[in-house]
């Protein structure tokens, strides 16, 4: 027998956050979220409270042991923009038991139905910068800090409830292809001169924090416009922007940031990478102990791997080769910073233009994630 309870008390919040840490304690591929960030979801200061309705549930067995969890999110921004009535599920974790998973899904579906929703989809978070998609290929691959690991049986649990594929993302591991470096450097120089573009550099004696604050407005303006039509994406509010900047300043290094502006100082392209933090966080339960902080800072300063976070190009510059300076920057992480490999993170399977960029590297497509959908009955 399975009992579903809504998460309300501090004790229940801890159980919700701790469940995946216990479920994956023996997995060498699971990279935890930061514990403090997960706890903050339940606070009144959660920036997404203004744009989302949400609910959290735990599943208990007959011995009152937690055997599953799930979050339901009604992203009101997305629904308003697209004139839809969708509810998303996120932070779904369960033992391999259809009775447990179905009870969790039903709890969110019933909650959403009462609020007038007609479509159930996920896994999706509050925004595109949250972890999203269910892993369906690549279970023996290390996950990145930006994405979530799950066991192979999750797909069956989800499909058994009536979910079907809506969209897939693929991920690739890239290594250096030396013969392409000179070619991409020449192409980058041609493009930059032809369209009178320049790279925004960190000024002498300018702090990392000030540089990030300086380029952030143009970055977010382009991010919103370039990603507007992509699956599940919502525009960022001012509070979201401030929170994102604050969260990433610790792990960002300016050598991983490429901002391309035109002669009018409008940002027309950017590339953003993160030092790979997987090795530093595996086995830590996401808690920032002094030892973990030292490992993170070491990974930031001397990364063995890197994660490709975001790439964007202004619509007016599409098909003009402006991706070349971004690819050059990524290749320099190999050539100059001695990074061993780079993870692309999620690329929509039908986003052929971005996936073609990886031809300049030795590419190994090694993971696939899926977002599912079903009608609410």
Higher-scoring residue by pLDDT: 251, 222 = 222
Name the band, by pLDDT with cuts 50, 70 and 90, for residue 38.
Answer: very high
Contacts of 297 (CB under 8 A, 6+ apart): none
pLDDT beyond 80 at 7: yes
Classify strands 198-199 and 257-261 as parallel, antiparallel or unpaired. antiparallel
Name the band, by pLDDT with cuts 50, 70 and 90, for residue 249.
Answer: confident
Cis peptide before 123 (omega within 30 of 0): yes
Tracing tokens 């190009």 back to the chain, one arrives at 313
Name the band, by pLDDT with cuts 50, 70 and 90, for residue 35.
Answer: very high
Share of the chain above pLDDT 70, in %: 100
CB-neighbour burial class of residue 178 (10 A; exposed 0-12, middle 13-18, buried 19+) = exposed
Q: What is the pLDDT of residue 244?
A: 81
Name the band, by pLDDT with cuts 50, 70 and 90, for residue 10.
Answer: very high
Averaged pLDDT, 304-331: 89
* Three-state SS annotation for the chain: CCEEEECCCHHHHHHHHHHHHHHCCCCCCCCCCCHHHHHHCCCCCCHHHHCEEEEEEEEECCCCCEEEEEEEEEEHHHHHHHCCCEEEEEEEEECCCHHHHHHHHHHHHHHHHHCCCCEEEECCCCCCCCCCCEEEECCCCCCCCCCCCCCCCHHHHHHHCCCEEEEEEEEEEEECCHHHHHHHHHHHHHHHHHCCCEECCCCCCCCHHHHHHHHHHHHHHHHHHHHCCCCCCCCCCHHHHHHHHHHHHCCCCHHHEEEEECCCCCEEEEEEEEECCHHHHCCCCCCCCHHHHHHHHHHHHCCCEEEEEEEEECHHHCCCCCHHHHHHHHHHHHHCCCCCEEECCCEECCCHHHHHHHHHCEEEEEEEEEEEEEECC
CA 114 from centre of chain: 30
d(CA 173, CA 200) in angstroms, rounded, equals: 28
The pTM assigned to this predicted structure is 0.93
pLDDT beyond 80 at 250: no
Q: What is the pLDDT of residue 22?
A: 96
Instruction: Kindly report, residue by residue over 268-305, the tens digit of the pLDDT.
Output: 999 988 889 999 999 898 898 999 988 888 888 888 99
Q: What is the pLDDT of residue 200?
A: 93
Angle at 304 between CA 299 and CA 305, to 5 degrees: 100
- Which long-range contacts does 77-84 make (Cβ < 8 Å, 24+ apart)? 77/51, 77/52, 77/234, 77/235, 78/232, 78/233, 78/234, 81/234, 81/235, 84/119
Angle at 238 between CA 233 and CA 240, to 5 degrees: 55
Averaged pLDDT, 66-94: 97
Name the band, by pLDDT with cuts 50, 70 and 90, for residue 248.
Answer: confident
Higher-scoring residue by pLDDT: 246, 149 = 149
Q: What is the pLDDT of residue 230?
A: 87
Averaged pLDDT, 81-104: 98
Q: What is the pLDDT of residue 100?
A: 98
Q: What is the pLDDT of residue 256?
A: 85
Averaged pLDDT, 111-132: 95
Name the band, by pLDDT with cuts 50, 70 and 90, for residue 309.
Answer: confident
Contacts of 2 (CB under 8 A, 6+ apart): 59, 60, 61, 67, 97, 99, 100, 103
Averaged pLDDT, 72-78: 97
Q: What is the pLDDT of residue 62?
A: 95
Range with the largest mean pLDDT of 236-250, 259-273, 322-336: 259-273
Q: What is the pLDDT of residue 218?
A: 94
Name the band, by pLDDT with cuts 50, 70 and 90, for residue 372.
Answer: very high
Q: What is the pLDDT of residue 79?
A: 97
pLDDT beyond 90 at 137: yes
User: Mean pLDDT, the chain, as a whole number?
Assistant: 93
């Amino acid at each position: 027998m399975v009992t579903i309870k809504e998460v309300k008390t501090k004790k229940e919040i801890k159980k919700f956050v701790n469940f995946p840490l216990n479920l994956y304690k023996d997995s060498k591929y699971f990279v935890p979220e930061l514990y403090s960030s997960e706890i903050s979801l339940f606070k009144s200061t959660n920036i997404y409270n203004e744009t989302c309705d949400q609910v959290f549930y735990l599943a208990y067995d007959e011995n009152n042991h937690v055997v599953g969890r799930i979050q339901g999110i009604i992203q009101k921004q997305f629904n308003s923009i697209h004139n839809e009535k969708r509810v998303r599920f996120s932070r779904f974790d369960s033992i391999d038991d259809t009775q447990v998973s179905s009870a969790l899904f039903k709890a969110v579906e019933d909650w959403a139905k009462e609020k007038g929703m007609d479509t159930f989809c996920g896994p999706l978070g509050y925004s595109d910068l949250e972890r999203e998609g269910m892993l369906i290929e690549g279970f023996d691959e290390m996950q990145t800090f930006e994405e979530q690991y799950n066991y192979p049986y999750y797909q069956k649990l989800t499909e058994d409830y009536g979910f079907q594929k809506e969209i897939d993302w693929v991920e690739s591991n890239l290594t250096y292809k030396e013969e392409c470096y000179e070619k991409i450097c020449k192409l980058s120089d041609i493009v930059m001169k032809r369209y009178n573009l320049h790279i925004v550099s960190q000024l002498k004696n300018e702090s990392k924090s000030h540089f990030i604050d300086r380029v952030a407005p143009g970055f977010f303006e382009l991010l919103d416009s370039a990603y507007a039509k992509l699956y599940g994406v919502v525009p960022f509010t001012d509070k979201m922007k401030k929170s994102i900047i604050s969260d990433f300043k610790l792990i960002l290094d300016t050598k991983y940031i490429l901002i391309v502006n035109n002669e009018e100082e409008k940002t027309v392209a950017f590339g953003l990478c993160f030092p790979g933090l997987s090795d530093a966080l595996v086995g830590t339960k996401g808690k920032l102990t002094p030892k973990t902080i030292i490992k993170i800072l070491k990974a930031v300063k001397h990364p063995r791997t890197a994660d490709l976070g975001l790439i964007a190009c202004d619509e007016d510059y599409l098909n003009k080769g402006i991706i070349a300076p971004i690819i050059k920057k990524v290749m320099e992480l190999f050539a100059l910073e001695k990074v061993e490999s780079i993870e692309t993170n999620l690329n929509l399977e039908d986003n052929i233009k971005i996936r073609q960029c990886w031809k300049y590297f030795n590419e190994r497509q090694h993971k696939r994630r899926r977002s599912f959908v079903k009608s609410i009955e």
